[in-house]
Structure 1
């Protein structure tokens, strides 16, 4: 009798908020260099060995950098569970088949929204994909900083577009959630605050709209010594000297 096949392995690489590698829901410990190597390949997908070595060990000689790369690859392949985290050839490194990366899912989703692909106004789960933490916030490697800023700007653009589409399709509650997610990333941008106020007004919540406007106005004054734009102020349907009770 043939033995039953092994159950499929589900490998998840979390790069948003913190680094975490999971196999079937259980954490897989990795040393620091192995984490950096896996994160780099996870973000790039397929990359030349020499580029990996030069990027991750920029201050080392070429010989030492290549040696560090080989050691890190050994750490990734030495787990007793036989994880295929990285597929290696003589010239390149590719993320193993079936390894899911949350940052890649976020980037694909955000790019599809920005490019206008799909009826995204009908899928409330998109907010859960877009409303995540920053990319590896405690890492200060140059390549991480650049990827983090690109992904952050992409998320903001996607959330702004999503909030506008949800409002246009008469879904103000979800439009408000998208606007608030954008505000959590960058609280001083006016656009998502305008979207939040519009969503409150669409739901008939004038008090909440006024309260949100006044909170943003105070934030701008405190942080920048500035005022909301005249266009935003004209959207408020009562005199500005009115103040909602706190």
Structure 2
């Protein structure tokens, strides 16, 4: 049996719709519609009137409904495949559409809930370094963007810890640094990096990471690192951490 080519909807970093490897052209209103169906509805149907009002909140209901019909009519249909399923009253994303966001959320869930994450969840962590449509500033998307960011940061930290325990120090360091890059003021991310350096016996690297975090935290927020991270590096100094030398 011949497998049908996939319809793919990319929402991480940049918006993209593709079929069999070819990128499909979509208008901005179509992008907004598809993103809403994927991020908010998750494949569930939404009332056409509700969707039209959300997409065109300033337009009268009749004009909003007309605009929705126009966008739906102009959606790409490569080889007869449809991106959305419409009835007289509802719209939903087609089950044929493969959404990258859903895949990465499933990966993050496995990493954050399993005591021993499956090897497949640790094989490719690159998707966890990408944000949800970061160039978009749609008000409805902001909570979803932050929710996904927190999920992927936790997943990167858990990945770093799991890889470190398995002796895969290079991969563990990449995962930890990925979390640091995404949020430089996140202490748990720095702790993951420091733990990898300590496991490898790279004490100078551990101290350098700690000092960079301590300096950044003091400069940006006027705060000191927590006792947890200070305790990690205290044995390397032979004196209490953060106490000025006399």
CA displacement, residues 107-138 of structure 1 (integer Å, 9 cap, x when unaligned): 12212322328733564324123222x11112
Q: Separation in 2 of the partners of 1:128 and 1:161?
A: 14
1:138 aligns with 2:122: no
Is the CA contact 2:38–2:93 (under 8 Å) kept in the aligned structure 1? yes
Is the CA contact 2:157–2:188 (under 8 Å) kept in the aligned structure 1? yes
**Aligned residue number for residue 37 of structure 2:** 41
Give the match's secondary structure for 1:151: helix
Q: Separation in 2 of the partners of 1:111 and 1:101?
A: 16
Deviation at 1:67, TM superposition (A): 1.3
Query: More deviation in 117-126 or 147-156?
Result: 117-126
Q: Separation in 2 of the partners of 1:62 and 1:149?
A: 31
Q: Separation in 1 of the partners of 2:98 and 2:169?
A: 32
2:4 pairs, out of 8, 19, 23, with 8
Deviation at 1:198, TM superposition (A): 0.8
Query: More deviation in 24-33 or 110-119?
Result: 110-119
Is the CA contact 1:121–1:166 (under 8 Å) kept in the aligned structure 2? no
Give the match's secondary structure for 1:124: helix
Q: Separation in 1 of the partners of 2:99 and 2:138?
A: 19
**Aligned positions of 1:1-246 closer than 5 A:** 8-43=4-39, 44-48=42-46, 49-77=48-76, 79=77, 81-116=79-114, 119-120=117-118, 123-132=121-130, 134-236=131-233, 237-239=236-238
Question: What residue ranges of structure 1 are gaps of 5+ in the alignment?
Answer: none
Runs of 4+, deviation exceeding 6 Å: none
Q: Separation in 1 of the partners of 2:66 and 2:116?
A: 46
Return closer, same or farther for 1:117/1:31 CA change in 2, 3 Å cut-off: farther
Is the CA contact 1:86–1:96 (under 8 Å) kept in the aligned structure 2? yes
CA displacement, residues 151-196 of structure 1 (integer Å, 9 cap, x when unaligned): 1111122222222333334433332222112112211011110110
Give the match's secondary structure for 1:136: coil
Question: What residue ranges of structure 2 are gaps of 5+ in the alignment?
Answer: none
Residue-pair matches, total = 236
Deviation at 1:202, TM superposition (A): 0.5
Return closer, same or farther for 1:105/1:222 CA change in 2, 3 Å cut-off: same
Query: More deviation in 181-190 or 165-174?
Result: 165-174
Is the CA contact 1:13–1:19 (under 8 Å) kept in the aligned structure 2? yes
Is the CA contact 2:117–2:162 (under 8 Å) kept in the aligned structure 1? no
Is the CA contact 2:112–2:154 (under 8 Å) kept in the aligned structure 1? yes
Q: Separation in 1 of the partners of 2:112 and 2:5?
A: 33
